[in-house]
Structures are given as C-alpha cells and as structure tokens.
Structure 1
Amino acid sequence: MENGVHYRTCHLCEAMCGVAIEVNNGKITSIKGDDQDPLSQGHICPKAVALQDLHEDRERLKKPIRKTAQGWEELSWEDAFDLVAEKLHGIRKTYGRNSIGVYLGNPNVHNHGALMTTMPFLRAIGTQNRFSATSNDQLPHMLASLEMFGHQILFPIPDIDHTDLFICIGGNPMASNGSLMTVPDIRGRLKALRQRGGKLVVIDPRRTETARLADDFHFIRPGTDAFLLMAMVHTLFEENLVDPGAAERLVKDVDLLRLAALSFSPEAVTRHTGIEAEAIRQLARQLAKTPRAALYTRMGTSTQAFGGTTTWLAYCLNILTGKLDIPGGVLFTQPAVDLVALGAMSGQRGHFGKRHSRVRGLPEFAGEYPASTMADEMLTPGEGQVRAFVTVAGNPVLSSPNGQRLESALEGLDFMVSVDYYLNETTRHADVILPPTAALERSHYDLIFSQFAVRNVAKYSEALFPAADDARHDWQILLELAHRLEQQRKGGRLPLRSEMGWRAFKKLGPDPILDLLLRTGPYGADAGPVRPFAQTAIELVMDILPERNPLKGLARLSPLNRRWDELPKGLSLSALKAAPHGIDLGPLQPALPERLFTRDGLIQMAPRRYLADVERMQATLESAPADGLLLIGRRHVRSNNSWMHNSQRLVKGKGRCTLLIHPDDASKRALNPGDHAEVSVQGRYVVIPVEITEDIMPGVVSIPHGWGHHRSGTGQSVASSHAGVSINDLLDDALVDPVSGTSVLNGQAVDVRVWQPEPQQKQA
C-alpha cells in the first residue's frame, strides 16, 4: 500500500461517513473525516478511529481453526472446506435439508461481497430454518413497507435537511447516526434545522442524547407507542386535519383507519402512555399544520409487543398529514444500484407468512423465521430439528433474547461452523471457524444503506491493504462452501455448464457485478449521439412486453429511460474509482406513483393484519397498566451491538454497562449510587452497577445492548476485561410481537433489588 492519504467509507454503522486514512510504511498513522465527502462532509464519530484497532487486532483470527479435545488448532483452508462440506452434507443427507440452520448477523449488510453471495450459499444449503438479526431489529418497518407500498425495503426516509419539524419516537440518532435513515452528522443537521426556525420533538422512556437537544420532550411508557400514535390519528380525524396532499389520489381505505381509531381518544390512552391528552392533541396538530414535517420511529418502537402496529401507524400519520413524497417530509431514495426495482423485477418484493416455524408456528418473513425461536428449533426433537448450525458474522448469544438458553441449544448440536474473525460468545460453540479478511483488506460499496440515505450518493472504496496470500474474503468462503455442497448433493460432480459458472463467479468476484449494476442503473451509461434512438427502442420494449416480463423491468430501470433524463449520467465502477470522495447524486425527490409496487398501484392504508391487531390494543387499553419496572435497552455512540468491544479506545473510560434507574424507584429499593443491583425475571438474573438519574422515566430501567463478555472460552481479552452484562440474558424469548414476529426487547417487566453477595463472595 502506497504511503499517503486514502479515502474510504466507514462501514461500522449505517451512516456511511467518509474517512481519510493516512498510511505510512504499511501502518495507519491517522484517521480523520473526509471534508470532501458529499454526504458526511468531514464528520466522523468515535467509532471511525477503531477501524485501525479492528484491522490490527492481534486476536483477530486469520486462519481456519477447529475445536479438538486439546483445544483449538489451525488447519488449512482446503481441509477446512472439505471438513465443513462433508459434515453439513452428511447431516443433511441423514436428517433432511431443514436439519441445518443458518444465522446471518448485521455486518453482512455492510458488505457488498457477502450480500451478493449469500443467496447462492443459502440455495446450496437448501434449508428453511433461516434466521437473521432482522427480527431483532427492523422487521416491522420492512413489513409495513411491504403491506403499504408493495416492497419490503421501500422505506420512506425523513428529508431532515429540509424539514421544519422532526418528531423522533423511540430513536436516538445522536448515538446511532441514524437507523433506516443514513444520516451522518445528525448534530449538525439538527442545528441547521433550528437555525432555519425548525423544531425537534423527541418521545422516549429515556431522555436520550438526542432528547437533550430537543425543543420538546415527552416521556412515554415502554410498549405504548401504538396507543399514542392511534390517539394522534384519532385527533386528525376528529379535528378535520386529514389531508394526504400529494398522495391523496393514491391512498386507499382511509375510512377503515378512521373507524379503527374511534375509541382511542387522547384521554383514553393517557393512563397507559403517561402523556397528557392535550400534549397528544398538540403533537397531532403540529404534524398536520407544519407544511414540511417528518415523523420518525425506530428501535424502541420496533422491538416491542406492538412493534408492527406502531410502525404502520407512524407511516399512516405521515401520509394522513400530507408529508409523504414531498421535500421536507418523507421521501423514497433513488440510489445508483436500485435494489428495490431490481428485486421487484425478479419477483422479490418480499413475502410474509408463507410458512410457519415447526415448534411455535411463527410466521416467516422473506424466508426467515424469527430469531426468538432458534433455540426451540434446536432443542425440540422431531423431523426438521436443527442439528447443524451456520453463523455468518453474527453473535446471537448476545443479540437475541434468552441468550443462556440459546447457548445450551448450541452446545447440543451435532456440528456448527462460523464464518467470523473473532472467537466470541457464539462462535466459541463452533466446531470450525472460517475467518474472512478484515474490512480494510477488501473493497467496499454500501448496497443497502445507500437505499436509506438522506441524500442520494454513490461511494466506492478500494481495498486499503492487500490480503495475505493465505487469506479468504467472506464472499470467497461462502462461494466455496456453496460450490462444494452442490458437488456433494450431485454425487461429487456438477454438469459442465454449472461447474464453469461456479468457477467464473469465484474468479470474478463481486466488483464486476457491481460495475454492471452501476452501468445499467438510472445514473449509468449515456448512449451519446444515438441516445434518442435508444430511448425510442426502450419505449417500444416497454409498450410491447407484458407488465411482469423481466426485460420490461430492465428497460424501466435503464439509464436510457426518459424518466431518468434529469439525473446525472455516466456512473460506473471506474467513474467511482476516479472520484475517491464519492459522487453526489442529488437530494431526495418526489417519486410517486412510479415508486409503488402494490398490485393496484395504491397505498394500502388499512392492511387487514393491522386492523386485526386493534382488538388486542383495545383489550390492553381496557386493562390496568402493568405494575413494576419495565426494561428497555440503549445504545452508545462508541458501540455497535456486540462486536466492537475489543477496541481499547472504544471501551476505555467510565463504565457504560450500568442500570439506569429513576431516583424514586431507587429509593423504594434502597439503592444508592455505587451499589450493584440484581435484575431478575423468571429465575434469570444479572448483577449490574447502578446509575441513578432523572433522565429515565419513573417505572422504567435501562441496560445497554451488546455486552455480556464474561463467558469463558472467548478470544477477546479487551472485551472480557470490560465484560458488562447481557440484557438478553434477562429477556424472554417466548415473547414476540404477534403481528410481525419481532422479538420483544423493550417493555418486559423485571424485578430489581440491592445485590447481596454470598458469604464466600464477601470474603473474596
């Protein structure tokens, strides 16, 4: 690697910040923000400097290892691939294809190579027992997008750079840099919002880092956001404030929504939400009467008992008040690689409930079962029991509910393999670990988060450091395993054409495919002087072919389609390599009705699965609010789930894994600053330092997500020395949102008391 400054996109969270990495004699000497990046404009968060730590971590695995009676031992890639393929094929042949389970972790969506090779890998395994972090995270947003707009990743994104009112419910973009809203430098953008006379409103059970910047803040009881939003819908109809504006001719079944909201007046929901009726009415009025406004919800509203219905209602409120598809409201992106249109063209808009899990009958979403039922499928005997398990860049022991039960399930497997470069709380249970290259050793393009950015951009990063000769990228690992499993399934040989296809794919890798997608997308090649003739041919194809013909889909997406005439052209991989800071493709623009993928071309305002859930809401409304303390998670800007705690510079300083509790609740339990509390539920418990603060709502306690590194047998010494506790060791994996199948990570009831050490612990 040449000495000097190299420009790259940080891959550690959703924000896609540009970084300037200085290298001298093969070593990183500084990491700073890239002032010329069109999206982040010089901003970085503390995580960016940990790119160096992750790359240089001596505990990062670099060669395959297998578990033996004497401990872990290295083996060659060839032997590792042979062993894994043989074991998986043998289990599949003996017990059936569903005897193998697969879990995909969040880092996969930050990696275009892994994304492109996941599907052939999954097809080669052939199992229906697929799981991912989706059902512990954003599934309600994907379901609402599928039900209302016809596509699972067609998300309405707040146009935060042009809005005058930003209502944030259950989200903390100051810590996350946005989530399903790729927004670097949220502090600067919120400052600009106020400088133009705008307003920030935050609603949360905790006064978060974002809430501290708010003009208005309201505490809300965990799990009651659906009642708040339904009361706001009620107010809009009651006060004749409904006006879908630009989307009016596209909305369907608005009257059904009005009927659903009839009994949810602000007065009726106050007891449950903790928000006064007049404050709820004022929120609805503000949203309706501010021409450029956006309502945004995120993790706190998604991962709760009413997560699916809450997200649907948030979408409805933006639509009912005319904020959909207008500048300053919520808009759909037009990325360079349009995964929404490409998916629709191939018939992959998404699906829900096509089949149900074996043990608990939970619905699949996009081919995946809820992560909360992974342990059930491993522990319950019978046909289809998971006996072998594959994890790819995931640590579900710390990120899924009831991690201790999942640990027990993993221990009982016949075989487990992990594609991961850390020996962590999950991979320690594997028989074989296949470590991919580090992120700085491979190229990078954000296929997913470009779909959610607050501004359309395209950025490509070449590998900063060469991979070792004996290293494998994750896409190479997945393709090699898929190839060998296909060979095993076919008796050791594949047809010549199939064999040549696999070899070509493995030789080319993801970047030529990325180049093709860029060139044929809306910002792609310009045909020059023959452009008018090419456009006429495109129009003929679109007129002649049936609606669902793939060629018509390609023609619609082509840069020669007159629909894209106003967009910049000439985008390709070589163009991005020549623009190391990235290319600005412009602000978000209105895109309806062309962007809808519903069968009738209309926005479905009252999908039946949400209307059916109103009965459950009504029953909850008529019951008394739950007694005791309700548990919520939280996130810190120096952390992202469980995998960045082996960086000393990210974990140093004051301990962040603490129990936040309100002074009134602490006093009732005789808890004082510096004490340790025992937090328990149904016999499960953790012991955690107490932090008493008025920033948490009375009746609520908070433990951060992603900790719990006290487990033995891991290979992360820094993380182990800052172990913390796992909130997921407390959470009940039997609790899911029945509408979406999402894990209930917020709002479960817990007991809290002063921790009393055992006598021998006192002596120690």
Structure 2
Amino acid sequence: YWLYGHQFLLPIPDIDHTQYMLMLGGNPLASNGSIMTVPDVRKRLKALQARGGKLVVVDPRRTETAAIADEHLSIRPSGDAAFLLAMVHVLLNESLARPGHLQALLQDLDALTAAVAPFSPEATAAQSGIDAATTRRLTRELAQAESGVCYGRMGVSTQVNGVVCQWAIQVINILTGNLDKAGGALVTHPAIDLVKTGLIGPGHVGAWHSRVRQAPEFGGELPVSVLAEEILTPGRGQIRAMVTSCGNPVLSTPNGRQLDQALSQLDFMVSVDFYINETTRHAHVILPPTCFVEHDHYDLVFMHFAVRNVARYSPAILAKPDGALHDWEIYAGLAKRYAQHAWALERGGTTQRLKGMLTRSAMSRLRPDQLLALGLRKGAYPLRMKQLRAAPQGIDLGPLRPGLAQSLGKKGRAIPLLPAAIARELPMLALTLPDATPDPDALTLIGRRDVRSNNSWMHNSERLVSGKARCVLWMHPDDAARRGLADGQTVQITSRVGQIAAPVFITADIRPGVVSLPHGWGHGRQGVKLGVAAQHAGVSLNDLTDDQLTDRLSGNAALNSLSVHVAALDEAA
C-alpha cells in the first residue's frame, strides 16, 4: 500500500524462473505457500536447484523447507528486521544497488541510505544471530545473481517488527533490480483482477482508531489484538454483538482465554459454521452453510497470489440438501436484515444510501457463478464461463510477467522507498541494537505449522490426526539438559498471560534458547462438540501469546518471539 499504492499489489516470487531464493519465516512445504499460491512446491524448489539456482532459508527452526535448502541460517527470533536492514545497508554502502528499469520511479534513496546507516552487519549481528560476514556474503550473492527474490511470510509478519520486515523485503527486491523482473518478484495478471476492476479498493491506514488503545485500522479492519478489550471495556462503542464466519478466534488470536471470557459476555452472537467449536459454543445462533462438495468454487483472492496465471472453476459435486443455504445466501440475508435496521447509521445522503440499498438488493439475487461470468467479461483474457466449466482442471493463462513499473509509470506514481511511518520507526529500532536478554532463564517461543495441521478445523479428521502426537514443545538438547528434562516429559510453559502443559520433544532442529509449539490445538474446553479433535485435544499456543505484545506500526499481534519459562510439571507445581 505505501510503496505501490494498492493493498493488493503484492509482488509474488517467480519461483519457476528464479536463480536465487532467499526465504525468511516461510515454510511452504508445510503451508503450500502463503501469499504465494504454489502447487507442488517441493518439485518447484528442486527444479530451482537443478537449473543451478540456490535456495537459502532463514528460520530459527530447521523446517521441512529448510531441510531441502542449499543453506539454512538459524536466525534469532525477531532478529529478522535487523538482518534485513543490514542487507539494505550492504546494498547501499557497497554500491550493489542496481534497480535498473525501476530507477526513474524511485524516491528517497538518499534518505533511505541515511536511515539504515546504524544497521551495519556488524552492528546487527548480536540481534540477528547471523555474523556480519555471512550477512555480507548473502547480500552479494543475491545482488549478483542472474535473477533472485527475497520472500518472507508468517514468521517475519507476526512479530514486533512485522511491518518493517515486509517493507525491507520489498526494498531489497527493488534495490537488486529484481522487482518486476522475470525470476524476481512479479505482480500477477489474474482472469478477474481485483485491482483493475476496483472490486477491492486501494486501502487506507489510520483513518480511524480503536476505542480502547487507539490501534490504527487498515482497510477498515482493526488488528485482532484489540478484540477482547473492545468487548470487555464498558463505554460508548463497546462491542455487544458479533458475527463470526467460519473462524475460531479463541484458538487463533492472542490471549485466547481472555477472548473466551469476552465472548461469553456478549448480548448476542451469530456464527456461520459447521461445528460447535471453542468459539461458536458462545453463539446464540449457529447458521451452518453447505459444505465444499455442495457448492461451486472459484478462487478470487488466491489467484492474485499464484506463481502462475491460471483460472479454475469447480462446480458442486452434490446437490444442496433441502432447506440448506449456501454461505453467500446466509450473508445476503444477514446484510438485508441488518440494512433494514441500520438505515440511519449509514453514512452519506439519502441518494447515496438508496443506491447502496439497491446495489445490495441486486447483488443478493445473483449467484456466484453469475457474478463470476460478469467479472470474466471485464477481464483482460477472452475467457468465459463455458470454457471454465469445460476445463475443471483449470486453464493456464501463462507465466507471471513484468508490468508493475509500466503500470505505475502510466499513473504518474513513484515508489517512495522510505514511507514516513518507517522513517519514524527506524531510529527507535536502532536503539534496541545493543541487545540484552533481561531474563537468562527465559526461552523464546515461536509457532509452527504441520502439513496435516494447518488450522484448528483439520483436527476433527481421523486421517489428519492419526500417527504420532504433533502438539509437542520442540526444545534444543542443550536447553533440555540445562533443565534436566527428558524427551516426552510433560512440562509447564508459562508466559505473562497464562500457562499450559505439553510434552517436550528434544531435537537439534531448533535454535538453542528457542522453543516451538504448533498453533490451532486446545480442544479440551467445555462445551466443544468436536468428537475426533477432543481425543487429540492438545493445548493452545494462544493461551500463552500476549495481546499487549504487538507490532508498533500496525498493532498486529506478535504471535512469535514470546518470552516464556519452561519447567518440569512436577517442579512447576
């Protein structure tokens, strides 16, 4: 949004053509890509290596992706910002910056050089845990590669410097000339372009703020870190009613026990969901939609993040049962009823509100496939619904291709390398470089994903939870020995907001001083009706994560890099 003017202009790694891929905080072999829709990612990464390319993974844990990488660097949790800023420093101070065709669009290059001056590889090594020589070598390798891309996902996003990390990744791709370049980072050209059609607006940030802690909105949404306090804190604007849609925030948001308590105090709650889970058990009304084999499907969002331009429509396999409603029918019904009671609350004059009412009425009468047909007609490809229906395997629209620079140039838009909010943040970040660990007995907790356990709903499938237990705490042998712990022993994990108990799994595949617990578990709460999941309940990582530990710029929860204490359960008692 700050750099390219639209929240959905997100350049995607051109994984099929790159010669050098630097990946931070991402594990696509388990997640199948995140903001990078990438089928058969193992094959694609192996192909990168087979053509002489290099894959470097930076992660505190030896993930499934790190295990097949050419090089794995075990970074300190939350050291990513320091490491990435050091790379920017090297690019600018060793004359490695060659933005190429982007040069004419760039602003603030001198200001950027001054802003990253404190972040030399030597100054940041203690905080990142990566020595200066390695940082310089990797930066030179990326800059000198025929094509390359820097890519970072959840591990660098859900931490206290998440916004700075994602900004720095874009700057690295810009300075190395890999943005908008084949084999680098490219924007997609989907069959239905949400940007060009205006179906999703450019976005905005800080147009208004949350009631209690004044956290900024982005695109009309507040960070979930403020949700519980907005329910629990009395006063004008207090949330007293809520609708949840196929989500489980009690398990997926920070300080889940606090949110659990907050939901129980709502005056009214509606949940659109199949299950009575940890969140929907608080609902006064549950509206179950049809399941995935009973409705058609087309990925609007994920096609914007795909590593190749494709289009695929999946028709329903089974007929909708009598009396059942598709999710879009439920949402249309809720919107209609809400609009009838909220006329006076809508902004704008009478004409504008009437127009909105008529638009909602018309849209609620169109099925998704009819809307899809309209969208295709406005797209850049000669593609129609008849063709999509005849090709259930999907239609290949070609590889990613350059076009962002040309598009920005036509709009007369520049790329501001140093947005004002980042310029204000970097001096404060520089003050933390003389890093110290205030509590030598503390460990740093990070999350993780498993290929069969991406989210909480997957735990209610016998096939997906079979085999060895996955809700275990990874710990390095040195940390286990220091605490006298044995593999499989139950330990108590304590943070500022709570404590849980889990078996420990001792492994050298994690950095010393770091422990890891998967998210999405914790199905032992009273009132939950998930028969299979209850037999593999596990514990919730988010009963430890802290709703007050957030990214200063966005207010997003720092779900990684949490300070915890770990002890044998009998000792803790």
Equivalent-residue separation in structure 2 for 1:674 and 1:746 (angstroms): 23
Equivalent-residue separation in structure 2 for 1:751 and 1:519 (angstroms): 58
Alignment of 1:687 onto 2:501: yes
Equivalent-residue separation in structure 1 for 2:356 and 2:142 (angstroms): 56
Equivalent-residue separation in structure 2 for 1:587 and 1:508 (angstroms): 32
Number of the residue aligned with 2:321: 468
Find the partner of 1:661 among 475, 481, 484: 475
Deviation at 1:391, TM superposition (A): 0.5
Distance 1:178-1:433 versus aligned 2 partners, 3 A rule: same
Whether contact under 8 Å (1:231, 1:264) holds in the other structure is yes
Number of the residue aligned with 2:399: 587
Deviation at 1:484, TM superposition (A): 1.8
Deviation at 1:506, TM superposition (A): 3.4
Distance 1:702-1:497 versus aligned 2 partners, 3 A rule: closer
Equivalent-residue separation in structure 2 for 1:515 and 1:733 (angstroms): 43
Equivalent-residue separation in structure 1 for 2:255 and 2:409 (angstroms): 37
Code of the residue aligned with 2:551 in structure 1: it is: D
Aligned counterparts, 1:672-683, within 5 A: 672-682=486-496
Alignment of 1:511 onto 2:511: no
Number of the residue aligned with 2:347: none
Deviation at 1:498, TM superposition (A): 8.1
Number of the residue aligned with 1:737: 551
The 3-state SS of whatever aligns with 1:467 is coil
Aligned counterparts, 1:224-243, within 5 A: 224-243=79-98
Distance 1:750-1:499 versus aligned 2 partners, 3 A rule: closer
Distance 1:237-1:293 versus aligned 2 partners, 3 A rule: same
Code of the residue aligned with 1:157 in structure 2: it is: I
Structure 2 unaligned segments of length 5 or more: list them: 345-349
Deviation at 1:676, TM superposition (A): 0.6
Aligned counterparts, 1:96-135, within 5 A: none
Equivalent-residue separation in structure 2 for 1:689 and 1:279 (angstroms): 35
Number of the residue aligned with 1:425: 278
Number of the residue aligned with 1:354: 207
Deviation at 1:501, TM superposition (A): 5.9
Code of the residue aligned with 1:317 in structure 2: it is: I
Find the partner of 1:163 among 10, 13, 18: 18
Whether contact under 8 Å (1:149, 1:598) holds in the other structure is no
Whether contact under 8 Å (1:149, 1:597) holds in the other structure is no
Number of the residue aligned with 2:132: 277
Alignment of 1:608 onto 2:461: no
Q: Deviations over 1:397-420 (max 9, x none)?
A: 000000000011011111111111
Number of the residue aligned with 1:520: 378
Equivalent-residue separation in structure 1 for 2:407 and 2:188 (angstroms): 10
Aligned counterparts, 1:259-408, within 5 A: 259-343=114-198, 348-408=201-261
The 3-state SS of whatever aligns with 2:309 is strand
- The size of the alignment, in residue pairs, is 564
Q: Deviations over 1:149-201 (max 9, x none)?
A: 00001111000000111111110011011110111111100111111011110
Whether contact under 8 Å (1:175, 1:636) holds in the other structure is yes
Number of the residue aligned with 2:74: 219
Distance 1:621-1:272 versus aligned 2 partners, 3 A rule: same
Equivalent-residue separation in structure 2 for 1:236 and 1:189 (angstroms): 28
Code of the residue aligned with 1:510 in structure 2: it is: P
Equivalent-residue separation in structure 2 for 1:274 and 1:206 (angstroms): 13
Task: Pick the structure with greater CA Rg.
Answer: 1
Number of the residue aligned with 1:22: none
Distance 1:758-1:591 versus aligned 2 partners, 3 A rule: closer
Number of the residue aligned with 2:434: 622
Number of the residue aligned with 1:95: none
Code of the residue aligned with 2:433 in structure 1: it is: L
The 3-state SS of whatever aligns with 1:436 is coil
Equivalent-residue separation in structure 2 for 1:175 and 1:606 (angstroms): 34
Whether contact under 8 Å (2:492, 2:500) holds in the other structure is yes
Code of the residue aligned with 2:2 in structure 1: it is: E
Deviation at 1:594, TM superposition (A): 3.7
Code of the residue aligned with 2:464 in structure 1: it is: L
Alignment of 1:700 onto 2:555: no
Number of the residue aligned with 2:460: 646
Code of the residue aligned with 1:676 in structure 2: it is: T
The 3-state SS of whatever aligns with 1:677 is strand
Equivalent-residue separation in structure 2 for 1:374 and 1:597 (angstroms): 40
Equivalent-residue separation in structure 1 for 2:343 and 2:130 (angstroms): 62
Deviation at 1:274, TM superposition (A): 1.0
Number of the residue aligned with 1:92: none
Alignment of 1:436 onto 2:289: yes
Deviation at 1:670, TM superposition (A): 0.9
Deviation at 1:496, TM superposition (A): 10
Deviation at 1:602, TM superposition (A): 1.1
Identity of aligned pairs, percent?
53
Q: Deviations over 1:673-717 (max 9, x none)?
A: 120110001261010010000100001000001111111111111
The 3-state SS of whatever aligns with 1:311 is helix
Code of the residue aligned with 2:495 in structure 1: it is: V
Equivalent-residue separation in structure 1 for 2:370 and 2:152 (angstroms): 37
Structure 1 unaligned segments of length 5 or more: list them: 1-145, 524-568, 760-764
Equivalent-residue separation in structure 2 for 1:729 and 1:754 (angstroms): 19
Distance 1:171-1:500 versus aligned 2 partners, 3 A rule: closer
Equivalent-residue separation in structure 1 for 2:492 and 2:131 (angstroms): 33
Deviation at 1:592, TM superposition (A): 2.9
Whether contact under 8 Å (1:167, 1:201) holds in the other structure is yes
Whether contact under 8 Å (1:150, 1:597) holds in the other structure is no
Code of the residue aligned with 1:325 in structure 2: it is: D
The 3-state SS of whatever aligns with 2:570 is coil
Whether contact under 8 Å (1:151, 1:597) holds in the other structure is no
Equivalent-residue separation in structure 1 for 2:434 and 2:356 (angstroms): 61
Aligned counterparts, 1:64-213, within 5 A: 146-213=1-68
Whether contact under 8 Å (2:501, 2:569) holds in the other structure is yes
Number of the residue aligned with 1:711: 525
Q: What is the TM-score of this pair, normalised by structure 2?
A: 0.95
Equivalent-residue separation in structure 1 for 2:287 and 2:294 (angstroms): 16
Deviation at 1:488, TM superposition (A): 3.4
Deviation at 1:622, TM superposition (A): 2.6
